[in-house]
Amino acid sequence: MNRLVYLGVFIISVLILAGGLLFLCAAVAVQERFPLAIILLIIGVIGAGWSAFAYRKWSSVQPTALAARITDLAAQNDGELAVSQIMSAFDVSASVAQAGIDQLVAKRQCHAESRGTQTFYIFPGLKEQKIVRKCTYCGSTFPVKQALQKCPNCGGNLELVKQ
């Protein structure tokens, strides 16, 4: 519904703006049309600007758009978010923030985890993971920075694993 209202106001404003331009062109011949042209131009610009701003704000809090913004926020916070963080970062209500989170949970991009009285949403794909070299025989681990092919402790093969 809101989308249609914003689009309708924008189209009417563009038509008023076009009328203002038409009267501005006609004001060259008849000077009395100049004030009406200015008024129509001002009304058209204000209406188009308001509807564009309001539509952009409305569309940014829709669950699909909000889910993308929530994912970006989670990436900045090491893959963990609470609903209160989403509410303060995007200036939205709890129900709007929860709708965005619910979409991400449905897509299995995050899951809920309770800590005390607060629920955190964990994004496993955004958590930092350390890669190490691990011996397949004795289980010793070594940093990737060391260019090792064999385990210095037992001589077994080393493979790259995520920790």
Instruction: Report how far Cα 1 is from the mean position of its chain's Cα atoms.
Output: 22
Alpha carbon distance 108, 128 (integer Å) = 18
The enclosing H or E element of 98 equals helix 94-106
**Do 51 and 96 fall within a single domain?**
no
Inform me whether the pLDDT recorded for 106 exceeds 80: yes
**Do 41 and 85 fall within a single domain?**
no
> Would you say 147 and 133 are in contact if contact means Cβ atoms under 8 Å apart?
no
**Do 95 and 75 fall within a single domain?**
yes
Domain boundary among 43, 60, 77: 60
The count of structural domains within the chain is 3
Domain holding 83, by residue range, is: 63-126
| Token pair listed for 122 | 């964990």
> Would you say 111 and 133 are in contact if contact means Cβ atoms under 8 Å apart?
no
What pTM, to 2 d.p., does this model score?
A: 0.60
| Token pair listed for 75 | 């990436």
Instruction: Report how far Cα 58 is from the mean position of its chain's Cα atoms.
Output: 13
Q: What is the pLDDT of residues 53-83, one digit of tens each?
A: 999 988 888 888 899 899 999 888 888 899 8
- The number of CA neighbours under 13 Å toward the Cβ of 158 is 21
Alpha carbon distance 2, 94 (integer Å) = 20
The reported pLDDT for the residue numbered 146 is 80
